[in-house]
Amino acid sequence: MKKKFLITGFEPFDRDDTNPSGDWISWMNGKNISDDREVRGAILPVTFNGGFLEFKKIYDEFCPDMVILTGLAKNRKELTVERIGINWVDARIPDNDGVTLVSQKIDESGPDGLFTTIDLEKLTMFAKKSGCDLLLSTSAGEYVCNELLYKVLCYVQNKKTSATFIHLPGLDNYDGIYLALYTIVNGL
């Protein structure tokens, strides 16, 4: 039986014309993926709750075994994988709907944080195979990326789905980053 992967990126935000996390989903189309897996990509809106609602719709229809969420962290210099989604938002900028959530829990009754469930050492190993370092991060921030990660981890908690979030750095050229992400998906 084929292993199913759902990979996501985001649309542009903060007045940018492009978002490399969304662009890599398009880059993946047409690439040869191992015969033992099926990969579906989705570009999500940069909106509080909207990204998760779109994810949930695709997830419920596709029923993936693994979820790799991606987003852009313009201030970072390396590819980073997140260890935990926290139950907190404190946006410094509005989302694409103009909403700014400030200093509040994502889910009043939810746990303070949830750890990602894909083996981070394997992710790091596959990224290095492609010549790219993958650093571990303990903060997905307090914006839409973290909100999506936290909600996804809550949603898949009792399902047989592993999930994580990878932040792409702010760079001029993403060829090496896209190759590392491709190697991760092909290797897991």
The pLDDT tens digits of the residues spanning 135-174 come to 999 999 999 999 999 999 999 999 999 999 999 999 999 9
pLDDT at 31: 80
Whole-prediction pTM: 0.96
pLDDT at 105: 98
- CA angle, residues 33, 34, 36, in degrees to nearest 5: 125
Is residue 19 predicted with pLDDT exceeding 90?
yes
pLDDT at 126: 94
The CATH class for the domain spanning 3-187 reads alpha beta
Is residue 30 predicted with pLDDT exceeding 80?
no
Sorting pLDDT into bands at 50, 70 and 90, what band is 113? very high
Rounded Cα distance, 101 and 91, in Å = 6
* Exposure of 15 in the CB half-sphere (CA atoms within 13 A): 1
Long-range contacts of 104-108 (CB under 8 A, 24+ apart): 106/147, 106/150, 106/151, 107/150, 107/151, 107/154
Q: Which residues contact 55 (CB under 8 A, 6 or more apart)?
A: 6, 8, 42, 44, 69, 148, 151, 152
Give CA separation, 51 vs 104, 115, 127, 147, 150, in Å.
18, 20, 26, 9, 12
CA-nearest of 65, 56, 43, 62 to 155 is: 56
Q: Which residues are catalytic?
A: 82, 145, 167
Is residue 16 predicted with pLDDT exceeding 80?
yes
